[in-house]
Amino acid sequence: MIAVIRRRAGRWALNGAAGLALAYILLPLIFVVWLAFFRQEIPSFPPEGYSLKWFAAILDQRKFVDGFSLSFRVGVLATLTGLVLGVPAALCLVRYNFTLRGPLANLLLMPVVVPGVVLGTAMYVFQVEVENGLDVDVLGTFYALVAGHVVIVIPWVVRLVTASLAGVDRTIEEAAQNLGANAWVTFWRITLPSIRPGIVAGALFGFVTSFGNLEMSLFLVGPGRTTLPIVILQYLEWKIDPTIAAVSVVQILLIGGAMLLTDRYVKLARVV
């Protein structure tokens, strides 16, 4: 009898702790979403009424639209570049044993560990040096910003593709070669499809990281080129009306939608 009570109490405690943690993560998000629909300009409780005008307000302000567009383009390009570099890197790390393999694996994962400000400073100084050395415009250009973001996309691609590769039976590649497929055909027809979940998940997380990055972008953006997180920060310095909440809701919906869509084709929970 006591054992049963103890087991039930244990289960209640576990569920309670999990619920608290979940609430801790979700509550701010719920408040932001709620706030986006408030009618009044200064957020205060209780709301005076509800309105969709803040969503309309986003479209009225060019800087939000431009910021969104820039963040989106940088994210897509950085993700694609990150895939081209990260997938072969992951293949090498898993398949070949070479000196410095361990250090190299850590180096590729480093950008998620190093504080964003440090990474941004380093990238800034590097780009200034390159600009001085080569005598071409680097800092503040679109491609320099993309180059910076590639660095923070790579860890996600490498990590998730590596995890995916570990579950792939290498003999299926030998089987393909045995059946007449050369190394190139084997990679495209056999290896790549079997690590697709890792690639998709890596691309998704890489994109989200790039899209939401603030610290590094602050160092790398040029005049007239501001990413969405920077636009939000700048806006918040002057106003706290629910426009920002509305922008956040749009972001949450986009990223959440992308995840749900991806999850239909690739079970994200299996790779991440």
Partner 1 sequence: MARLDIENLVKRYGDFHAVRDVSLSIADGEFLVLLGPSGCGKTTTLRMVAGFIEPTAGRVLLGGQDVTLLPPWKRNAGMVFQSYALFPHLTVAQNVAFGLEMRKIPRADIEKRVEEVLALVRLSGYGGRLPRQLSGGQQQRVALARALAIRPDVLLLDEPLSNLDAKLRQEVRVEIRELQRQLGLTTVMVTHDQEEALTMADRLVVMSEGEVRQVGSQRDLYERPANRFVAGFVGRSTFLDGTIDTPGHFRTSGGLELKCAGNRTGAAVLSLRPERVEIGPVSLQGGPLAGLDNRLSGTVEFVSYLGSLIDIHVRLSPADRLVVQIANREGGFSPDVGQPVHVGWPLSAGQVFTA
Helix ranges (DSSP H) in the chain: 2-35, 53-60, 62-95, 101-109, 116-134, 142-166, 171-178, 183-186, 192-194, 196-212, 215-220, 228-238, 243-265, 268-271
Q: Which is nearer to partner 1, 169 or 237 (CB)?
A: 169
Shortest distance in whole angstroms from residue 208 CB to partner 1: 26
Angle (CA) 171 176 181, round 5°: 145
Residues that bind partner 1 (CB under 8 A): 169, 171-172, 174-182, 185, 189-190, 193-194, 196
Shortest distance in whole angstroms from residue 174 CB to partner 1: 6
Q: Which is nearer to partner 1, 135 or 169 (CB)?
A: 169
Specify whether the CB–CB gap between 93 and 162 falls below 8 A: yes
Specify whether the CB–CB gap between 219 and 123 falls below 8 A: yes
Instruction: Please tell me whether the peptide bond between 103 and the residue prior to it is cis, using omega within 30 degrees of 0.
Output: no
Shortest distance in whole angstroms from residue 270 CB to partner 1: 13
Shortest distance in whole angstroms from residue 91 CB to partner 1: 17
Q: Which is nearer to partner 1, 8 or 189 (CB)?
A: 189
Q: Which is nearer to partner 1, 99 or 171 (CB)?
A: 171
Q: Which is nearer to partner 1, 152 or 190 (CB)?
A: 190
Q: Which is nearer to partner 1, 88 or 193 (CB)?
A: 193
SS3 label, residue 50: strand
C-alpha 152/C-alpha 181 separation (Å) is 35
Among 137, 136, 139, smallest CA distance to 148 is for 139
Among 219, 236, 243, 230, smallest CA distance to 66 is for 230
Shortest distance in whole angstroms from residue 198 CB to partner 1: 13
Shortest distance in whole angstroms from residue 205 CB to partner 1: 22
C-alpha 111/C-alpha 116 separation (Å) is 8
